[in-house]
Amino acid sequence: MNAARFNDIHATVGHPGPIGVFDSGYGGLTILKSIRRALPDADYIYLGDNARAPYGTRSFDLVYNFTLEAVEYLFARGCQLVILACNTASAKALRTIQQNDLAALDPGRRVLGVIRPTAEQVGRITRNGHIGLFGTPGTVASQSYDLELAKLHPGLKLHSHACPMWVPLVEYKESAGDGADYFVRRDIEALFAMDKNIDTVILGCTHYPLLLPKIRLYMPEGIIIVSQGDIVAESLIDYLHRHPEMDARITRKGSIEYLTTEDAAKFSDMAGVFMGENVDARRVNFKDYIK
Ligand code: DGL
Render pLDDT for 27-69 as a digit per residue (tens, 0 to 9): 999 999 999 999 999 999 999 999 999 999 999 999 999 999 9
Active site residue 86: yes
Quick one: what percent of the chain has pLDDT higher than 70? 98
Look at ligand 1, atom 2, and give the residue with the nearest C-alpha. Answer: 86
Q: Is the CB of 118 under 6 A from ligand 1?
A: no
Please tell me the predicted confidence (pLDDT) of residue 286. Answer: 84
Give 125's strand partners.
none
CA of 93 to the centre of ligand 1 (A): 13
pTM for the whole thing?
0.95
The alpha-helical segments, DSSP class H, found in the chain are 29-38, 60-76, 87-92, 94-96, 102-105, 115-125, 137-142, 144-152, 166-171, 178-194, 212-218, 229-242, 244-247, 264-275
User: What spacing in Å lies between the alpha carbon of 11 and ligand 1's midpoint?
Assistant: 31
How remote is the CA of residue 71 from the centroid of ligand 1, in Å? 16
> Average pLDDT of the chain?
95
The residue that leads in pLDDT, 286 or 262, is 262
Closest CA to 158 of 145, 139, 176: 145
Per-residue confidence at 291, pLDDT binned at 50, 70, 90? low
Ligand 1 midpoint to CA 54 (Å): 6
pLDDT by residue (tens digit) across 114-156? 999 999 999 999 999 999 999 999 999 999 999 999 999 999 9
Task: Please say if the pLDDT value at position 1 is more than 50.
Answer: no
Enumerate residues 6+ apart whose C-beta is below 8 A from 141.
162
Residue bearing the bigger pLDDT, 172 or 244: 244
User: Before 54, cis peptide (omega within 30)?
Assistant: yes
Mutate to test the pocket of ligand 1, among 90, 112, 136, 170 (most ligand atoms within 8 A of CB): 136
Q: Which atom of ligand 1 is nearest to the CA of 114?
A: 4
Q: What is the pLDDT of residue 288?
A: 76
Provide the pLDDT confidence category of residue 2 given band limits of 50, 70 and 90: very low
Q: What is the average pLDDT across 217-228?
A: 98
Q: Please list, in sequence order, all residues whose beta carbon lies within 8 angstroms of the beta carbon of residue 289, skipping any fewer than 6 positions away.
A: 6, 7, 8, 73, 76
User: Does residue 170 carry a pLDDT above 80?
Assistant: yes
Per-residue pLDDT band at 290 (split at 50, 70, 90): low
Nearest residue to 203 (alpha-carbon basis) of 132, 117, 101, 129: 132
Identify whether 79 is a catalytic site residue.
no
Model confidence at 258: pLDDT above 80: yes
